[in-house]
Structure 1
């Protein structure tokens, strides 16, 4: 299983990099988003504007890369006619989905580096990291959280041929609801429960807490607890979705023509 997992991660990263759309979301998109968000915060007077500019554009690129890669892989496998063979292969299809998602997320994490370099070269902005170990831990939790939310969504895409539509629908709303670019208190009150149910919301909050000069350890522990709880919840949903989808696919035999 480990050999299949590691081999799929490497192949997935190579295949993703070969796609022009992925390279755009990995390089060009965070650069453009950095310029856009900088203009938004230019005269805001907000003390932590640099963190929103750099982290915001990087997280936007990270989520877009996941939407157009991990979720889109189901559509590509279906259109190439290999989805039924992968689904019924001796290698567990769960391992393949997890490996593809991990590979895409690790590669897409470079958007944070691209946004940091863009902000530094164009606007002389820098991201001060007073607690590198805490920030690194928060970044690892963030990557795990993005993987956790991507896998159940990918499973749901097995049942539909409209993955292109759903990828575009998921991109911007999640960016807004998770507070990548601005604090969530500016959103309407009715959106708050939705935001709280999304693990990227808590991952974003965790990264901002890790950048504070003096860490609020109570808030950090609370945010970590929420991240861990939602990651476990998404893991449970993944198991439920997999068993339900597996039964339906094997019963109806409509994997290639599901609507």
Structure 2
């Protein structure tokens, strides 16, 4: 099992890098987003502007990479005609989806590095990290959260042939609702419940908390619990979706390109 996961991760990272769209979201998108968000915060006077510029553009690139890779893999496998074979292969299809998502997310995490390099090179902005251990822990939780939310969405794409539409629909709304580039207090109050059930919201907050000079431990623990709780919920949804989808797919044979 470990061998299957590891080999799938390596192959997925190579395949993702070979796609021009993925390279754009991984390299060009963080650079452009960094410049855009810098201009947005140029006269804001916020003391935390640098963290939003660097983390915000990096998280935007990370989420876009996931949308156009992990979620899009279902459509690519379907139109290449290999989805039915992967679904029924001796290797558990769950393992393949998990490994692909891990590979894409780990590779897409480079957007955070690219954003930091761009901000330092163009605007001489550096992200101050007073507690590296906390920041690394928050980053690992963030990566786990992005993986957790990607897998159930990928499963839902098994039932749809409009994957391209859904990828584009998911990209910007999640960026706005999760507070990647500005505080959630700027959004209408009716959006707060939606933001609260999205794990990237809490991952973003955890990263912001890890940058404080004096750690706010009660807020840190609460945010970490929300992250952990939502990750468990998404894992549960993944198991539920898989059972329902597997039954439906085997019954209706809906994995081919045509209906």
When normalised by structure 1's length, the TM-score is 0.99
Q: Cα RMSD over matched residues?
A: 0.7
Q: Within 1, Cα distance between the matches of 2:128 and 2:58? A: 16
Deviation track 1:128-149 (CA, whole Å, cap 9, x = no partner) reads 0000000000000000000000
Q: Within 1, Cα distance between the matches of 2:253 and 2:76? A: 19
- Find out whether 1:161 has 2:155 as its counterpart: no
Corresponding residue number in structure 2 for 1:171: 171
- Find out whether 1:188 has 2:169 as its counterpart: no
Corresponding residue number in structure 2 for 1:245: 245
Q: Within 2, Cα distance between the matches of 1:243 and 1:144? A: 22
Structure 1 moving runs of 4+ over 2 Å? none
Corresponding residue number in structure 1 for 2:15: 15
Deviation track 1:54-108 (CA, whole Å, cap 9, x = no partner) reads 0000000000000000000000000000000000000000000000000000000
Contact 2:83 2:256 in 1 (8 A): yes
Contact 2:202 2:226 in 1 (8 A): yes
Corresponding residue number in structure 1 for 2:31: 31
Deviation track 1:108-138 (CA, whole Å, cap 9, x = no partner) reads 0000000000000000000000000000000
Corresponding residue number in structure 2 for 1:138: 138
Corresponding residue number in structure 2 for 1:122: 122
Contact 2:63 2:171 in 1 (8 A): yes
Q: Within 2, Cα distance between the matches of 1:191 and 1:166? A: 20
Corresponding residue number in structure 2 for 1:206: 206
Corresponding residue number in structure 1 for 2:215: 215
Contact 2:79 2:257 in 1 (8 A): no
Q: Within 1, Cα distance between the matches of 2:249 and 2:216? A: 48
Secondary structure class of the residue paired with 1:125: coil
When normalised by structure 2's length, the TM-score is 0.99
Corresponding residue number in structure 1 for 2:76: 76
Corresponding residue number in structure 2 for 1:229: 229
**Post-superposition offset of 1:255:** 1.5
